Amino acid sequence: MTQLALVIDLNVCVGCHACVTSCKEWNTSGPAGAMSDDNPYGQDPTGTFFNRVQTYEVGEYPQTETVHFPKSCLHCEDPPCVPVCPTGASYKREDDGIVLVDYDKCIGCKYCSWACPYGARELDEHQKVMKKCTLCVDRIYDESLPESERKPACVLACPTSARLFGDVHDPESEVSEAIRDEAGFQLMPEWGTHPANHYLPRRKAKIRIHQDELERVDNPLKKEGELPQLDDNSPTLDDVTSW
Amino acid sequence: MHPAFSVIFLTTLIGVGQGLFLALYTGESYAVVELLPAQDQSFYVWGSVIAVGFLIAGLISSIFHLGHPERAWRSAARWRTSWLSREVIVLPTVIGAVAVYGGVHALGWDLSVIGIKTQLRGDLTLLIGLGGVVATFLLFLCTSMIYACIKFLQEWATPLTLINYTLLGVASGFTFATAYATYQAPHLVNFYGWWAIAITATALVTRSASLYRNANLRRISSLSTAIGVRDKRIKQRSMGFMGGSFNTREYFHGASQLLFRSIKWIFMVMVFLIPISLLVIGMKNDSSSLLMSAFVVQYLGLIAERWFFFAQANHPQNLYYQTVG
């Protein structure tokens, strides 16, 4: 069975919010209707978003580290938001594992948002239905797009390629390989939700270089002592050539 | 969590309705075995009418919680998995059962179904009432499990949620029945009054137990598990936006610390101490106004209790929304 998901590399995310804005742009223009905003340029702006980038500081000054942390629906393999829905509007697709909301069936009771430990669901204050990341389901299967663009908008927008997209159930896929090789982890594993989205940890790439690796031990010139030096009276190259 | 008044009124109003119906049925059962004097049909009829009134008021209140009330009929669909869906089915069942129970009393149908010989009338109302009692307790189960089944809302995920919803609902219903009996069945005032006191006192023990439990909770989620960083010294510097969002409104109670802390003592006094005192004094002095005020105070206290129940629940998503920036 396929389980589409994102793998987000915290090591290279620079916190530029490009994924946030491209997500909003794509999904607010989609056939499902706008993701409504109120007072976008006013005093108390608010709006519906599928994706946010947060920033955390780890450690104690001066040994601190900044972690930029994008957060959207994790498309859990055992999503707690789905069984609580009284109408069946919230569902997980059998064929690709995407968790979606049927906006025509949602009664706006907010119970699914209570049942999501990650706060991944937001009620649209104007349409009064629950909204969440769709993994750009209206984009990834669109055959009118070139194949390279059949990816979620956030993945295409990321300037540092911090976001990977693929099938985490296929052991050969790029995302599975990244999870395997780069110690991918899940958020709040304690609740047994088995998020499909994984994160790659901050990791420092260090190589240790010894002095003998900088200086060639068996350098023949070294063995023969100092290089021969020209004395002041010797002819230079300019003296003996006629160019 | 942000307390929604639609849900506060829903859970408290149907609690009174359910408790009142249980009180009526208890009175009738005692009368059958001649432990209590039999009552006129009108006692059960008007009692059922009032109980149905409370239940329907709760149902109407719940509609205000929905973004799309016109689609509410869909919410009966997922009863296999959702406690909310089960409540949507059981609540009208209880309303129907209480209405039929009152209706049979009103029509005075004297029908013996399984042949229990009573000096009063046939056992039809007893059987219908028994079904109503089962449905009533199922409704307490459904209502409380909506909250208790969310395991990461640790304040709610305990059997005490079920026990408190049931006991507080029944207590308020019996308190109302005490006041109601002063008008319709003066012989039952003390019976209902002492039951109301006993149930309220039991609820005081169980509600205190849940307060104690919640004050000593060990949080399972932390910022470390939330963002997957082992280091315990994590501070949020930015939640990703400066304005508000659904996440900053729905999961925080938004009240001042002073109000949040004092409301616990307010409801402890209003739900338990004052009503018990008023019930004792009211029964001694045969005062229907004191008994009715016992119910009013207890009901207002229950609104505060339910507000605190929601406000106290700490959603793990709040870990992600601590610093505006």
Contact A56 B146 (CB under 8 A): no
What is the per-residue pLDDT for B119?
58
Q: Where does the pLDDT of residue A226 fall: very low under 50, low under 70, confident under 90, or very high at 90 and above?
A: low
How would you write chain B as a 3-class SS string? CCCCHHHHHHHHHHHHHHHHHHHHHHHHHHHHCCCCCCCCHHHHHHHHHHHHHHHHHHHHHHHCCCCCHHHHHHHHCCCCCCHHHHHHHHHHHHHHHHHHHHHHHHHCCCCCCCCCCCCCCCCHHHHHHHHHHHHHHHHHHHHHHHHHCCCCCCCCCCHHHHHHHHHHHHHHHHHHHHHHHHHHCHHHHHHHHHHHHHHHHHHHHHHHHHHHHHHCCCCCCCHHHHHCCCCCCEEEEECCCCCECHHHHHCCCCCCHHHHHHHHHHHHHHHHHHHHHHHHHHHHHCCHHHHHHHHHHHHHHHHHHHHHHHHHCCCHHHHHCCCCC
Distance CA A70, CA A199 (A): 10
Assess if residue A58 is contained within a domain.
yes
Assess if residue B55 is contained within a domain.
yes
B232 touching A (Cβ < 8 Å): no
What is the per-residue pLDDT for A50?
96
Instruction: Please count the CA atoms within 13 angstroms of the CA of A224 that sit on its side-chain side.
Output: 5
Task: Give residue-wise pLDDT tens across range B296-313.
Answer: 999 999 999 999 999 999
Task: Give residue-wise pLDDT tens across range B84-135.
Answer: 999 999 999 999 999 999 999 999 887 777 766 665 666 788 899 999 999 9
What is the per-residue pLDDT for B209?
97
Residue type, A88: G
Share of chain B above pLDDT 70, in %: 98
* Mean pLDDT for the stretch of residues A203-207: 87
Best of B81, B85, B152 to substitute, by most chain A Cβ atoms within 10 angstroms, is B152
Task: Give residue-wise pLDDT tens across range A76-116.
Answer: 999 999 999 999 999 999 999 999 999 999 999 999 999 99
Assess if residue B136 is contained within a domain.
yes
What is the per-residue pLDDT for A210?
85
Assess if residue B313 is contained within a domain.
yes
Domain total of chain A:
1
Distance CA B125, CA B21 (A): 13
Residues of B in contact with A199 (CB under 8 A): 227-228
What is the per-residue pLDDT for A172?
96
* Mean pLDDT for the stretch of residues A5-13: 96
Contact A84 B241 (CB under 8 A): no
Q: What number of C-beta contacts closer than 8 Å exist between A and B? A: 176
B310 touching A (Cβ < 8 Å): no
Assess if residue A216 is contained within a domain.
no
A119 touching B (Cβ < 8 Å): yes
Using a 10 angstrom Cβ sphere, with 0-12 exposed, 13-18 middle and 19 or more buried, the burial of residue A155 is: buried
Domain that holds residue B280: 5-320
User: Which among A43, A23, A19 is positioned nearest to A35, based on CA atoms?
Assistant: A23
Query: What are the residues whose beta carbons fall under 8 Å from the beta carbon of B221, sequence distance 6 or more?
Result: A117, A188, A190, A191, B152, B316, B319
**Distance from the A37 Cα atom to the nearest Cα atom in chain B, whole angstroms:** 10
Two structure tokens written together for B79: 């009863």
Query: What are the residues whose beta carbons fall under 8 Å from the beta carbon of B262, sequence distance 6 or more?
Result: none
Contact B71 A105 (CB under 8 A): yes
Q: Where does the pLDDT of residue B36 fall: very low under 50, low under 70, confident under 90, or very high at 90 and above?
A: confident
Assess if residue B108 is contained within a domain.
yes
A26 touching B (Cβ < 8 Å): no
Of B108 and B65, the one with more pLDDT: B65
Best of B150, B246, B309 to substitute, by most chain A Cβ atoms within 10 angstroms, is B246
Contact A58 B233 (CB under 8 A): yes
* Mean pLDDT for the stretch of residues B197-207: 98
Assess if residue A82 is contained within a domain.
yes
* Mean pLDDT for the stretch of residues B7-13: 97
A57, A50 in Cβ contact below 8 A? no
What is the per-residue pLDDT for A183?
94
* CB nearest to B66's CB, from A67, A109, A199: A109
Assess if residue B325 is contained within a domain.
no
B206 touching A (Cβ < 8 Å): no
Distance CA A132, CA A106 (A): 12
pTM for this predicted structure: 0.90
Contact B77 A185 (CB under 8 A): no
Assess if residue B239 is contained within a domain.
yes
ipTM at complex level: 0.91
Contact B83 A84 (CB under 8 A): yes
Using a 10 angstrom Cβ sphere, with 0-12 exposed, 13-18 middle and 19 or more buried, the burial of residue A143 is: exposed
| The pLDDT of residue A232 is above 90 | no
| The pLDDT of residue A119 is above 80 | yes
Q: Where does the pLDDT of residue B205 fall: very low under 50, low under 70, confident under 90, or very high at 90 and above?
A: very high
The CATH number assigned to the domain holding A41 equals: 3.30.70.20
B228 touching A (Cβ < 8 Å): yes
Assess if residue B63 is contained within a domain.
yes
Domain total of chain B:
1
Assess if residue A175 is contained within a domain.
yes
| The pLDDT of residue B204 is above 70 | yes
Helix (H, G, I), strand (E, B) or coil at A113: helix
Assess if residue A121 is contained within a domain.
yes
Assess if residue A167 is contained within a domain.
yes
Task: Give residue-wise pLDDT tens across range B286-297.
Answer: 899 999 999 999
B324 touching A (Cβ < 8 Å): no
B1, B299 in Cβ contact below 8 A? no
User: Which among B20, B241, B162 is positioned nearest to A40, based on CA atoms?
Assistant: B241
**Chain B residue nearest residue A85, CA to CA:** B82
Assess if residue B265 is contained within a domain.
yes
Residues in chain A: 243
Residues of B in contact with A125 (CB under 8 A): 246
The CATH number assigned to the domain holding B234 equals: 1.20.1630.10
Residues of B in contact with A202 (CB under 8 A): 229
Helix (H, G, I), strand (E, B) or coil at A208: coil
**Distance from the B254 Cα atom to the nearest Cα atom in chain A, whole angstroms:** 16
Of A157 and A236, the one with more pLDDT: A157
Residues of A in contact with B241 (CB under 8 A): 49, 52
**Chain B residue nearest residue A60, CA to CA:** B233
Distance CA A24, CA A3 (A): 23
Domain that holds residue A61: 4-200
Contact A188 B72 (CB under 8 A): no
Contact B320 A59 (CB under 8 A): no
A53 touching B (Cβ < 8 Å): yes
Task: Give residue-wise pLDDT tens across range B265-281.
Answer: 999 999 999 999 999 99
B26-29: long-range contacts, CB 8 A cutoff, minimum separation 24: B26/B195, B27/B177, B27/B185, B27/B188, B27/B191, B27/B192, B28/B125, B28/B126, B28/B129, B29/B126
**Chain A residue nearest residue B150, CA to CA:** A115
* CB nearest to A58's CB, from B82, B231, B251: B231
What is the per-residue pLDDT for A219?
72
